[in-house]
Structure 1
Amino acid sequence: MLKNIFYPTSQNVFIWLSTVYLLFLLYLGKINPLTVLFVYFLETIIIGIFNAVKMLCTIQLGNSKGYGTIIFFLFHYGFFIAIQSIFAFAIFSIGDTVVFKEPFDLIHNYGIILNLQDIKYALPAIIFTHLGKFFTDFIGHQKYLKFDIQEIMFSPYVRIFIQQFVVILSSFFIIISESGIFAAILLILFRFFIDLVMEAIKENSEVLDFVSEKLSNDKAPKETIKKQLINFTE
């Protein structure tokens, strides 16, 4: 089972490369622990952008209809990100490295993050991971034919809930403690583990079969659980 999760494959190679790259940058001192925290925070926006593109592909290449659903998703997801950002910026303002004077000034605060000198080294790694997964998995396996636009619309919420919980929890250790680099390493490795587990839950995999078997019940049969797991681990 562990081999199915951790063994490098064409599906998870982008996760491996991104993780090794970020750890190498941290080792060289090209990025600091706070940048690691911010780049995972920005990933929430990147996930939303790619999800909107997936919805568009489902309309253009699949059988779904409803461009209005994409607009609704962008509005709903954007509102969700805004609320989350205000809360996160209030926490980040505790640190002395980057001070967000006003948590509600979202555009200015995101501008501070994007203007960090070392963000240009770390952010491409996250974009590269999602870009690779999009072409090899979503397009390569023609998932635009397997899911409708409504299913895809709700698919990122499980992932970003886990992600933001980990990021916000890690922020306390990185910002407050003096051993921020160790907290950053743990954040990268923990995200690495979570991403590999979610990537391993793919169609016809042993991991998917095992998890769906454990979660199935009288109201939710195994095959239904399988489809939901595949969609929510996109």
Structure 2
Amino acid sequence: MFKRALTKSDFLLIVVNLIPLYGVWFEGWDPKTMFLVYCMETVIIGLINVIKMACVTLFVKSTDVWENNGSSTMQSGWFFIFFFIIHYGFFVFIQTQMFFGVTGMIPEGNMLMKYSSIPKLLGDNGMLMLLIFIAYYTVQNIFSFFSSGLYKIISLGRLMFEPYLRIFVQQVVVILGSMFLSFGAGKIFMLVFVAVKIFFELFINFDRYLAIAEKKQRLKERFKK
């Protein structure tokens, strides 16, 4: 389940994640702001996944198999996209609310006020990192997705669940890190967080886990038939 060799994309990932660490340790960047950027990383990955699903629906296949409680039906690709937006959006909402509550970055107020305050909270350094993450994930996800030809063969079901394993690990660490921030241990936990994030991204083969899960599901359905 572990990757055997690092690619050029992996080295770029290391550099991208070391920038906020360097900023916090040597340039006086606010650790809370950098953790907020990592929260927004979840949104970036979700939006990119919607684009990939929409491209598959428009240019490859308009319908695909929907697995639900042991039954299989054909559903429109737009149904997969709608389900992903609602389900993933709920996940992002819970994660951000927990982050805001633990860090106390935003005073109590209505929900719209909380989210409209994010650009101001990010500031120049946070916005710079957000743009770097957007550029990195756009190139790393979308370019490789099409250049490899994966878009021609991947199922919408697998594509829909692709972000979850990475994001689950990342955001658990983000929430734990936000707790440490309240004790003034931002620099230390920033170091721990970046090290853990890089380790999981580089050495845990998430794609293989998804492929195995998909294969098991197909075998289960074939056995039932």
Would the TM-score normalized by the shorter structure come out above 0.5? yes
In the alignment, structure 1 residue 163 sits paired with structure 2 residue 170: yes
Q: 1:183 aligns with which of 165, 179, 189?
A: 189
Q: Which residue of 2 aligns with 1:230?
A: none
For the residue of structure 1 that corresponds to 2:53, the secondary structure is helix
Q: Aligned to 1:155, what secondary structure does the other structure show?
A: helix
| Structure 1 portions without partners, runs of 5+ | 203-207, 228-234
Distance across 2 between alignment mates of 1:64 and 1:151:
15
Question: What's the counterpart of residue 90 of structure 1?
Answer: 101
Q: Is the 8 A contact 2:3 2:202 kept in 1?
A: no
| Greater strand proportion | 2
Residue 149 of structure 1: aligned partner: 156
Which of 21, 24, 45 aligns to 1:26? It is 24
* Partner-residue secondary structure (3-state), 1:101: coil
Tell me the SS of whatever aligns to 1:16.
helix
The number of equivalent residue pairs is 202
**Which deviations, in whole Å up to 9, do the C-alpha atoms of 1:16-57 show, x marking residues without a partner?**
220232233224426211112111111111111011011012
Q: Is the 8 A contact 2:18 2:194 kept in 1?
A: no
> Compared with structure 1, are the counterparts of its residues 58 and 191 closer, same or farther at alpha carbon in structure 2 (3 Å cutoff)?
same
Aligned to 2:168, the other structure's residue is in SS state helix
- Tell me if the contact between 2:39 and 2:174 (Cα under 8 Å) persists in the aligned partners: yes
Q: Is the CA contact 1:11–1:137 (under 8 Å) kept in the aligned structure 2?
A: no
Task: Tell me the TM-score normalized by structure 1.
Answer: 0.74
Aligned to 1:11, the other structure's residue is in SS state: helix
Q: CA deviation at 1:145?
A: 1.6
What are the equivalent positions in structure 2 for 1:97-108 lying under 5 Å apart? 98-102=105-109, 105-108=110-113
Matched, 1:67 2:90: no
1:201 is displaced (CA, Å) by 5.4
What SS does the aligned partner of 2:106 have?
Answer: coil
* 1:45–1:81 contact (8 Å) kept in structure 2: yes
Larger relative contact order (Cα-Cα within 8 Å, sequence gap ≥ 6): 2
SS in 1 for 2:136: helix
Q: TM-score, normalised by structure 2?
A: 0.76
RMSD, matched Cα: 2.9
1 CA distance for matches of 2:195 and 2:13? Answer: 11
Amino acid in the other structure paired with 1:192: I
Could you tell me the percent identity over the aligned residues? Answer: 28
Distance 1:76 1:135 in 2: 22
Matched to 2:120, the amino acid is N
Corresponding residue for 1:133? 140
Task: Give every structure 1 segment of 4 or more consecutive aligned residues whose post-TM-superposition deviation is greater than 6 Å.
Answer: none
Give the superposition deviation at 1:15: 0.6
Distance 1:132 1:18, change over 3 A: same
8 A Cα contact 1:22 1:125, kept in partner: no
Q: Which runs of 5+ in 2 are unaligned?
A: 64-76, 219-225
Would the aligned equivalents of 1:26 and 1:32 in 2 still touch at CA under 8 Å?
yes
The question of 1:195 aligning with 2:201 is answered yes
Among candidates 208, 215, 219, match of residue 224 of structure 1: 215
Q: Which amino acid aligns with 2:184?
A: E
